[in-house]
Each structure stands twice: as structure tokens, then as C-alpha cells.
Structure 1
Amino acid sequence: MYPYNLDDARFCVKCGSTLLLKDRYRVLSPIGQGGFGRTFLAVDEHIPSKPQCVIKQLHLHQHSDSVGSKAMELFVQEAVRLDQLRHPQIPQLLAHFEQENQLYLVQEFIQGETLEQELKHQGVYNEAKIRQLLKDLLPVLEFIHSRQVIHRDIKPSNIMRRQPGGEVVLIDFGVAKYLTSTVLVKTGTTVGSPEYMPPEQTRGKVLPASDLYSFGVTCIYLLTGISPFDLFDVTSDRWIWRDYLPHNNPISGDLGEIIDKLIQNPLPRRYKSATEVIAALTPKAKPIAPQPINKLYSSTGIDYKQLNNLLAVQKWQQANQLTWDLMCQALSKPLGSYFFIKDIENMPCEDLRIIDELWAKYSNGKFGFSSQVKIYNICDCDYGQFCAAVGWNLSKSSSLTQALSFRLSAPAGHLPSHFWSGGTQLWRHLSALDTKLKSCYNR
């Protein structure tokens, strides 16, 4: 019979050494062991409820001095990172200390399974689970990257699902790295897990996009259950993860495109930030097309029946002059006033749309403000090209009216004229009109 220690014992009955680390933490059982450390489940004896916690011990036996020095650096670094990154989806650092020439790190205990364990117990993920995982973890990456920290070892075994609740938690910041200006130009020590590591990380360089790559590879592993090494075809230098998807577990094209962009080998083709991926995942709201305005009275009290009647019988010249007058009324300006950028911005949308839609209606879409800004954009917002396209050769005529063609055969966008434009930078009026129309039509 060997003597055993009682639950409340403070010293080992066999060797007399203390059973409490830092006179506070009692080890219950080992959790795991790696090349540089051991992890234990423990309780905090200083708190009445005796909550569980995780203790990491740096274990450097059988390693060279240089390797041990690097391991010690990373171990201390993890404590620093956890202390700085206070987030509900990152384990909280509880203590960091040295005792009897051993380094210890105490952190919050996460009750639950890693995604690696979850995959073994529940099988491969479907699209809904992958989408939810992306939505749950991308904000965490956005958080750490905004604090200039790169995790460098994202993989299924470093993501836990907290129970109860199902919240995902990013663990193991032992190899996390600060993003500094030297990261882009200096090659450092290669750390991480080869299966999930982007090409630049194998050369000791990391960026926020490096974590996104590892997260993308994590996703294709969870979708297939196949090692990432087997999901990449070196002969064609491309990922073939779709070939390994279960037949009863299809993935939509848009999610596939997002994953493909996450795991692009060339950095320029990859998402640059978690924020970009979140935006790509967010469904784009389809703008509600505004209904055509059928009334001929605006809320400002302006009557558009005369303009309607003139356009209906193709009295283009009279309609052109009346358009200017009606715009002056809508802006409460004297007739014949010139308009500046601020006036265009202040034009009531209802009046602008009535005028625009009446011109478009009676010209089969050839004339009107919408036609003009469309042509302006086709001309790459070059005012000279635009004037040539719509036939506004004002410099060749001594009369403004002679410079225009009041016929339906005139170039598209020719009418109504912009005689009302004030100032010298006339191209700015078109840009302002473009912006205003987009706002009025919810484009």
C-alpha cells in the first residue's frame, strides 16, 4: 500500500512537497502533454466555490538550450497575450508565476469540446454549421488583429465550443505574434501547424490574412473530415476540397467562393481582413425599386401637367425651358436662377423624379437626367467626352438654343439641357446629379 493524499492535504505525505501551486491551485488530473509543456485540470482553493481552472507548466527536459529558450519565450508570450486580449471568446488569464524553477500559467477552464473532438463525435459539418462558425469566430479574429496580434496556429483543436451555450472560444495563444512593421521584411522563426499553415508562414512571415487562411483550411477540414494535406493537389497547385464533399452535403456557390478566397496561396488574392470576410458573408439587401411617380403634382405644390402635355406632343424646346422654370420653383428660387452644387443636393427628390420620369417616358428612355448620368459614367466621368457623346457642342455656337437639337433624333442624353448650371466647374454638377439620383431612386 502506498500512502495517498487527502483532498484537503497541503503537503504530500510521501515526499513532503507542497501540493498547492502558489499556495492556491490544487492539481486534479493531467489534460495533455506536448513537446514543451504539460496541461493540468486544477481548482482554485482561494475561492469558496473552488472553480476549476487550467494550469500549463513549461516542461523543457530533453531539449537544447536554444530550443528551450524559444519555448520559454513563447510561454511567457502567451501569458502576455492573454492578459492583453480580454474577450469573452478568449480564455481569461488568471495567474502567471514561477515556482521551484518551473514556469506556470493559470487560465480560465473552458468546459466543452474542441472542434476536432466535435468532428469525431458528430461527423462533418454542413453549410449552416460552417456559416455559423464563420460568423462566430471572425469577430474574434477581427478583435485580436485590431490589437496587432496574430494567432498563427488556428486549427480545429485550438477552437473550443463552450458548454453549455455553444459559444466558440479561441485557445492556445502560445505562438501568437505582434504584427509590427518588421513582420513584412524580416523572416522569423516558423511556428504553427503545417497542415493549416499558409505559404508565407512557412517562411516566418505572418499577416492577419495568415490567420484567415488557417481558418479557411479549418473549414474545409470540418466539411470533409479529410486531412488538409490530402485536399491540396500539388501537381496542379490547387485545392480540390470539393471533390471530397459528401454527396448529401452540398455547399452553395457563394459560400464556396468565400472559402476559396480564404485559402488562396497568393496573398493578394486572399481576404486582407476579417472585416472583409464578415462583409462577404452578410446578405446584400436588395434595394426596393421605387415605384414610378404617376401623379403630376408634387408635395411642394408644383403642377407638372403643362410639362407632361408639352412632352406628350414632343414640344421639346418649350419643355426644356419649362423644366428650368419648374426646378427654380422646387428650389424656391427666382425664375432664371443658376443652380450650384448645393442646389442640386437640396432639390426635393419627388420633384426631381417627376421631371426625370416625364422626360424618359415620352422619349422612350432617351432623354432625362437618368439617361445623362448613365452616359457620364460610361464616359468614365470625363466631362469633355460626355459633352461629345450627348452632342453638347456649345463652343461652336453663339446661341445656347442653336447649340441644341430639339428633336427626338438628337443623341441620347441631349435633353433637358443644363443651361441652369452655375459656376465654371460644370462637370461637378453631373457628379452631384448622379449622387442625388442614386439617393432618390435608392440605387
Structure 2
Amino acid sequence: MSKCLNPDCLNENSSGTNFCQKCGNKLLLADRYRTQKIIGQGGFGRTFLAVDEHKPSKPVCVIKQFYPQAQGTSNIQKATELFEQEAVRLEQLGKHPQIPDLLAYFSQDGRQYLVQEFIDGQNLAQTLEAEGYFSERRIRDLLNNLLPVFEFIHSRQVIHRDIKLENIILRSNGELVLVDFGAAKYATQTALAVTGTTIGSAGYTAPEQAAGKAIYASDIYSLGVTCLCLLTQVEPLELFDVSEFEWVWREHLKTSVSSELGQILDKMIQPASKKRYQSATEVLQALGNKLPQLSPQTQILPQTQILPQTPNSLKSAWRGIDYTPLRDLLATGKWKEADIETSKLMLKASIRERFGDLDPYSLDNFPCDDLQIIDQLWVKYSQGRFGFSVQKKIWLECGGKVDYNGNAEYRLGFRVGWLKEGKWLNYDDLTFNLQPPEGHLPMFVRCGFRQIGKGAAAMYWGWCFYFFSRIENCKL
């Protein structure tokens, strides 16, 4: 099946056809994407399920077509800005396992198109209709799953501004994915101080956002309202008593809710923004995900602890990579140079030099021999303070497992000194000596992988569980 993209046609053609049999319109977008069916539509366009014929596996993807039907030039202009904005935001956010990847953005035949990763699953509105109200346990799981995503986008100075049931998709594996960044706002200090356009969905929108002044806490408010809808199966507008100006969600509960969770939800949906949680981290802490205290700045190892000896061979068995330069840098206390050398050697060992980072496949197959040599060198010359095995130990103490765990990533960040005041440090702000907390170096694992290049500071997120799973398999 090949759906015609001409808004005035939309004819269904046979799969191998390159031009519409009815209107003659070209069927392949950018000579690679073939649409199969419409999966959504609104006033500003349609969303299609498609396949990428440029790749051998022909993976499924989603195509958003901008085709505004709104009346008035100002509406169309605003719609155009929002459509372009979604592509920009997705590109700025980069890769995160709970945000759809932006695959392409272009114009064809006078219309704009955005191609993004297909998320297989139901949105929470569909889940609620199919399965009924959520229990307290499911609400807590939802918050623990989603709040780290909020921490991620807010750390990138992005406010989503349209958190609601329909914009959260539940994958078959139970992971939640945040979609539709068309309303997202780039939150610089200047922008936060300026009144902007009111965007959001009725009932979910925080008062300050309705007034055109969205802040990070506005997303917290909308998430709180989303939780109320899941607990009650009632629309947001029916859960707020306008005459008394107070929430009455407890009157509509289908199941009991502990006073602890009730108080957390009440604070998330406070109309007065200053009385609300100001960050996702604060909500996680209230839920009981207390961030561990940082390790002491210095540590004296027990005399009974035996540090690893220098590896018998500094050449790996698989590719014959020579780790002597890394040893020499570590032995002379050149920690930053050793960290950069570690990154380069790991890319070489995985044959990923031209990509500048590792992907899940290269992590799952990273040679254990190389990991062991790197780890032994770091542990030995740091007197047990640094190394992958040290980081893995802290990861496990933070609740990390062999699956995605945003809470553990943030706890790890605090423990090893990569995260301060809710923000991830830039590479050049790290401490390259023996004073920072245990696990501070090497930096290659920072919940993503550092791309070698100018400044060596580009980060990709969400790979901690892959990395530590491989370390576990390699018996480090």
C-alpha cells in the first residue's frame, strides 16, 4: 500500500508504484519514504505511517505533513512556527530513549514534512480507555519513569508545554515515551520573563502558562493533572471546582490513594507556581528517591584492599590496540589527557572512530579484553578511585539495573560529581585530579558517550544500562 500525499487526492496505490495512479503525484518523499496510511489528522496537517525504503530492513517511521486548514493568516503563521519548532526542539534534544528521534525535516511539493521515529504502543488516553483507572502503584511507576525525562528536557532549557494523556505513549515493554514537541518552548532567562503565546490543552495548563508565561514548573503541573485523570478516569475540567477555586479530585477516586502520594499530587497541581514543586528532581525526592550524599573528597584505601597489577600485556587480543600511551598518561597524573585518550581508544576498539560515539550494538559487542585493560589501568593509577568497575559499583548502589533507569542515572551523576544543582556539568567543568568523588573518571560513561571533536563535550544520553550491562558480562 502506498498512500498519496496530495491533500486533494489521498488515493491508495499498489506498493511498487512510484507515482499516484489517480493524480500523478510523486509517492516517495525525498526518494526514500513511502507512506502507508493516515494515523492522525488535525487542523494543521496529517500524520502518516510510513517505511524508509532507503534502508535494507525498511523500518517503520512517522511522517508529519504540514497542511494548515485554519482560517486567518495569523493562525497559519503560528502553525508554521510550531511545526518548524518541533523539528528544531527534537534536533536540539538529541537522542534519548524516551523521546522520538528526529529522522528528517524538509519541504516537497510546497509542503513541509517532519519524519520521526515510530513509537509502537498506545497513548495513555487509549490505555485508560482500554484498561480503566490506574492504581497508586502505577502512578508512582509512571512518575518515576517520566520525571527523569522532564529533568532531561529541562536541563536542555526546553519546556514541553503540552503534557497530557495523548502525548505520553506506553510501549509494550512498559516504558513511557514523551511525544509532540510542537508546543515546546526554549526557556532562556529572557524568554521566561516575557509574556508569550498561550499554548496547551484545556484543563491541563498551569495558570501562569495560560497567561503566556510558562516555566519548568508548568510541566510539573500538567503531569500532576495527567495523574489525576489516570486515577479518576475523569476529564481535568471536572476535577477542579471553579466556584471554590480548588481541586476536588478525591471525590472522583476509583481506588484509595495514600496520604503521602496525595500530598505530592496536591503540590504538583498548586495553582500558585511558587507553592508548587520547582523541578522534576524535587518530585523524585518527595517520592522517596533520595539522592545519596556525595562521597568524601578524599579517601584512604584500607591496607587490605589489593589494587590490580598492571596488565601482563598492554595490547588487546582482538585488535592489537596498544594501551601503553594510556598507561604513561595515568602514571604521570595527566588525568584529562588520559580521559581523552580512553575515549579515542574505545572508539578505535569498537571501529566507531568516524561516528564519534558508541551505539547499543557496539556496546553489546565491545571486546572484554579492552575493557579489562582500560579498567585495570585506571583503578591502579588512581589508587582505586576511578575506573569502570568503580562506576559500575556506584551504579548498582544507585539502583541501576540492566534496563533504562533515569533515576539511577541522576543518582550516579550526583554521586560521582557530574551533576550539580540539577544540571549536568560541561566537560571542561570536570575536575581532573584525585580530589573529586569516586567514579568521577573516566568520563566516557556519563549516561551517554562523549563525542570526540572540538571541545569534546557533545553528550548522548540513555546508554548507562547498556554500558554497565557489558561491564557486568565482562566480569569487571
- CA contact under 8 A between 2:124 and 2:166: conserved in structure 1? yes
How far did 1:214 drift?
A: 0.1
Deviation track 1:206-257 (CA, whole Å, cap 9, x = no partner) reads: 11100000000000000000111111111221101011112xx100011001
- CA contact under 8 A between 2:161 and 2:183: conserved in structure 1? yes
SS at 1:195 equivalent: coil
How far did 1:61 drift?
A: 3.1
Which of 95, 100, 111 aligns to 1:91? It is: 100
- Report what 1:119 is aligned to: 128
- Report what 1:162 is aligned to: 171
SS at 1:69 equivalent: helix
Which of 258, 265, 269 aligns to 2:271? It is: 265
Separation in 2, partners of 1:4, 1:214: 39
Structure 2 unaligned blocks of 5 or more: 1-10, 292-476
- Report what 2:210 is aligned to: 202
Identity %: 59
Separation in 2, partners of 1:161, 1:210: 22
Work out whether 1:33 is the aligned partner of 2:41: yes
Aligned AA (1:49): S
How far did 1:64 drift?
A: 1.7
Task: Identify if the C-alpha distance between structure 1 residues 278 and 65 changes in structure 2 by more than 3 Å, giving closer, same or farther.
Answer: same
Work out whether 1:276 is the aligned partner of 2:282: yes
Which of 238, 254, 257 aligns to 1:230? It is: 238
- CA contact under 8 A between 2:163 and 2:223: conserved in structure 1? yes
Separation in 2, partners of 1:56, 1:215: 25
- Normalising by the residue count of structure 1, what TM-score does the alignment of the two structures yield? 0.62
Task: Identify if the C-alpha distance between structure 1 residues 209 and 9 changes in structure 2 by more than 3 Å, giving closer, same or farther.
Answer: same
Work out whether 1:250 is the aligned partner of 2:256: yes
- CA contact under 8 A between 1:183 and 1:206: conserved in structure 2? no
- Report what 1:190 is aligned to: 198
Aligned AA (2:90): L
- Normalising by the residue count of structure 2, what TM-score does the alignment of the two structures yield? 0.58
Q: Any residues of structure 2 matched to 1:51-66 within 5 Å, and which?
A: 51-66=59-74
SS at 1:95 equivalent: strand
Aligned AA (1:166): G
Separation in 2, partners of 1:243, 1:62: 39
Task: Identify if the C-alpha distance between structure 1 residues 234 and 10 changes in structure 2 by more than 3 Å, giving closer, same or farther.
Answer: same
Separation in 2, partners of 1:274, 1:284: 13
- CA contact under 8 A between 2:168 and 2:176: conserved in structure 1? yes
Separation in 1, partners of 2:108, 2:290: 55
Separation in 2, partners of 1:4, 1:116: 29
Separation in 2, partners of 1:62, 1:188: 20
Separation in 1, partners of 2:214, 2:198: 10
Aligned AA (2:171): R
Task: Identify if the C-alpha distance between structure 1 residues 284 and 18 changes in structure 2 by more than 3 Å, giving closer, same or farther.
Answer: closer
- CA contact under 8 A between 2:38 and 2:49: conserved in structure 1? yes
How far did 1:11 drift?
A: 1.2
Separation in 2, partners of 1:36, 1:133: 31
- Report what 2:446 is aligned to: none
Separation in 1, partners of 2:98, 2:56: 25
Separation in 2, partners of 1:5, 1:141: 42
Aligned AA (2:184): A
How far did 1:283 drift?
A: 5.6
Deviation track 1:171-223 (CA, whole Å, cap 9, x = no partner) reads: 00001001112334321111110210000011100111000000000000000
- Report what 2:157 is aligned to: 148
- CA contact under 8 A between 2:284 and 2:290: conserved in structure 1? no
Q: Any residues of structure 2 matched to 1:355-394 within 5 Å, and which?
A: none
Separation in 1, partners of 2:57, 2:289: 45
How far did 1:66 drift?
A: 1.3
Separation in 2, partners of 1:182, 1:95: 30
- CA contact under 8 A between 1:212 and 1:271: conserved in structure 2? yes
Greater CA deviation, 177-186 or 125-134? 177-186
- Report what 2:115 is aligned to: 106
- Report what 1:392 is aligned to: none
Greater CA deviation, 31-40 or 112-121? 31-40
Separation in 1, partners of 2:57, 2:155: 36
Work out whether 1:130 is the aligned partner of 2:130: no
SS at 1:255 equivalent: helix
Structure 1 unaligned blocks of 5 or more: 286-443
Deviation track 1:412-438 (CA, whole Å, cap 9, x = no partner) reads: xxxxxxxxxxxxxxxxxxxxxxxxxxx
Separation in 2, partners of 1:62, 1:134: 36
The one of the two structures with greater contact order (alpha-carbon pairs below 8 A, sep at least 6) is 2
Task: Identify if the C-alpha distance between structure 1 residues 64 and 261 changes in structure 2 by more than 3 Å, giving closer, same or farther.
Answer: same
Aligned residues: 282
Q: Any residues of structure 2 matched to 1:337-352 within 5 Å, and which?
A: none
Task: Identify if the C-alpha distance between structure 1 residues 241 and 6 changes in structure 2 by more than 3 Å, giving closer, same or farther.
Answer: same
Aligned AA (1:100): D
Higher helix fraction (1 or 2)? 1
- CA contact under 8 A between 1:158 and 1:171: conserved in structure 2? yes
SS at 1:120 equivalent: helix
Separation in 1, partners of 2:137, 2:38: 35
Separation in 2, partners of 1:276, 1:151: 18
How far did 1:4 drift?
A: 6.4
Deviation track 1:304-353 (CA, whole Å, cap 9, x = no partner) reads: xxxxxxxxxxxxxxxxxxxxxxxxxxxxxxxxxxxxxxxxxxxxxxxxxx
Q: Any residues of structure 2 matched to 1:315-326 within 5 Å, and which?
A: none
How far did 1:14 drift?
A: 2.7
What RMSD, in angstroms, separates the aligned Cα atoms of the two structures? 1.8
Report the structure number with the largest CA radius of gyration. 1
How far did 1:148 drift?
A: 0.3
Which of 170, 175, 180 aligns to 2:188? It is: 180
How far did 1:284 drift?
A: 6.3
SS at 2:13 equivalent: coil
- Report what 1:74 is aligned to: 82
Q: Any residues of structure 2 matched to 1:387-402 within 5 Å, and which?
A: none
Separation in 2, partners of 1:143, 1:283: 17
Aligned AA (1:260): D
